[in-house]
Structure 1
Amino acid sequence: MTKLHVLKVFVGEDGRGGNPLGVFLDAGAWDAEKRQRIATELGFSETVFVQDADRAEVRIHTPAVELPLAGHPLVGTSWLLRREGLDVPVLRPAAGEVPTWVDGDDTWISARPEWAPEFDMRQLPSPADVDAHPGAGPDEHLHVWSWEDESAGAVRVRVFPTRMGIAEDEATGAAAIRFGALVQRPVTIHQGVASRIVVQPGDDGTVAIGGQVEYVESREHFDA
């Protein structure tokens, strides 16, 4: 058996929301086929498989595909590795090196937008229109958004990455990275039920995203 750590990432200001994440800290011997099977069985929007904890080498799977980069898995894994006593200045997913740090209660990563999956980003007239959106078809990466308060940089978002095997994502860091590159200004995203993602575009073309993480539980997982 192997221990599965379950977290919530991008928890909202009121303690609600947060995207569930599964993390295996000792999965270096597992091949891609096994990782995908386990991620599909677990059903989290993403599951992280740490291949080398000291070097923070990780692989990320949705229920349907492996991703070279994803936001909430990297933020959550950075937080968890620090909780386990490891100094983590850089994460190493398949896409490349991703700097990570802590500022107050928020854990941050910074990455190049082109490393993230592309999304069909559609601005809607109001947050109410975002809330009322019916969702996406079976093979889309749909991101709908509206300003809650444009002057304050507050944004209402929902994301429907059905192509990844996810009907709706509670908090999507990769989409937040793409969105930061689109609007080129600091914003705070309120996504899903109650999740919060802080976004800060950099001068070098990267985009940083941050948020709060909570530990939910650990489970013994039969990995045969």
Structure 2
Amino acid sequence: MNARVKTPSGGIDVLRVFSGPDRRHGNALGVVRDGARFPGRTARQALAAELGFSETVFVDDPERGTVDIYTPGLRLPFAGHPLVGVAWLLDVEVLEPEVGEVFVRDDGEFTWITVRAEWAPPRSLREYALPAEVDALEVPEPGEWVYAWAWQDEAAGRIRARAFPGRGDGIEEDEATGAAALLLTQRLGRALHITQGRGSQILTAPGPDGTVEIGGRVHLEAVLDAPAPAR
């Protein structure tokens, strides 16, 4: 077990992923370390809906890094902020979500994962002329998944962004989204420093053969008692 966190048996770790340097903001993530307590998609989907985080991760093998990811409304083969968070928590070199092997490194401040751009689901990347335009956006009606962004400092690779999943599952705006940052990095072909939502920070860098490295700060926010699985 990762020495950073000692979770009671059956507990749910609540992490903040992609937080700012002051440990504020970031996206909440639920991690069920003992995934075997919730076997099957029905039980896992029900718990993810009950918890209400944008994503919840179930750990099926902590040594191999085998994980399973859910939003409140569906299962995901890949998602960025859950993989960064669970990589930090398990302290492993490789994760194994459904899409394939995800390599991990930690530089002491940021946890990084190396992923492939084609793993990310489609997003509508909408560029705006000014960060103030992004700040002023209203939450759109459910429908298209929108990643709104503008250059803060193009020479330095600094971007202002907000994310609107449009799923209609109660998550109107996603505070920090690794998959959308991955797609934007692929499109622009350069390293980015993204400030998203209220002040979350996501770092990215393109790699060889269509890979992208995504990094962020992670910390433990709380440990919850897991409810009993439905019978």
TM class, shorter-length: over 0.9
1:68 corresponds, among 74, 77, 80, to 77
Q: May I ask how many residue pairs the two structures share in their alignment?
A: 219
The answer for the alignment partner of 1:221 in structure 2 is: 226
2:32 corresponds, among 6, 9, 24, to 24
Q: Matched residue of 1:174: which SS?
A: helix
In structure 2, how many angstroms separate the alpha carbons of the residues matched to 1:195 and 1:120?
20
- Stretches of structure 2 that go unaligned for 5 or more consecutive residues are 1-8
Matched, 1:89 2:93: yes
Instruction: Report Cα offsets for 1:55-88 as digits up to 9, x if no partner.
Output: 1100000111111111110000011112xxxxx1
The answer for the alignment partner of 1:7 in structure 2 is: 15
Q: 1:219: Cα distance to partner?
A: 1.2
Residues 207 and 60 of structure 1: CA distance in aligned 2, closer, same or farther (over 3 Å): same
What TM-score results when the alignment is normalised by the length of structure 1?
0.95
2:66 corresponds, among 46, 57, 60, to 57
Q: Is the 8 A contact 2:142 2:168 kept in 1?
A: no
In structure 2, how many angstroms separate the alpha carbons of the residues matched to 1:77 and 1:43?
18
Q: Matched residue of 1:136: which SS?
A: coil
Instruction: Report Cα offsets for 1:124-159 as digits up to 9, x if no partner.
Output: 110000001112221221000000000010000000
* Runs of at least 4 residues off by over 3 Å: none
Instruction: Report Cα offsets for 1:66-121 as digits up to 9, x if no partner.
Output: 11111110000011112xxxxx1110111111111111300000111111111000
Instruction: Report Cα offsets for 1:2-41 as digits up to 9, x if no partner.
Output: 2100000001123321100000011135111111010001
CA RMSD of aligned residues (A): 1.2
Instruction: Report Cα offsets for 1:186-224 as digits up to 9, x if no partner.
Output: 010000001000010112211110010011111111132
What TM-score results when the alignment is normalised by the length of structure 2?
0.92
- Stretches of structure 1 that go unaligned for 5 or more consecutive residues are 83-87
Alignment of 1:94-173 (within 5 A): 94-163=98-167, 165=169, 166-173=171-178
Residues 80 and 32 of structure 1: CA distance in aligned 2, closer, same or farther (over 3 Å): same
In structure 2, how many angstroms separate the alpha carbons of the residues matched to 1:105 and 1:56?
21
In structure 1, how many angstroms separate the alpha carbons of the residues matched to 2:118 and 2:18?
22
Matched, 1:194 2:199: yes
1:43 corresponds, among 41, 52, 66, to 52
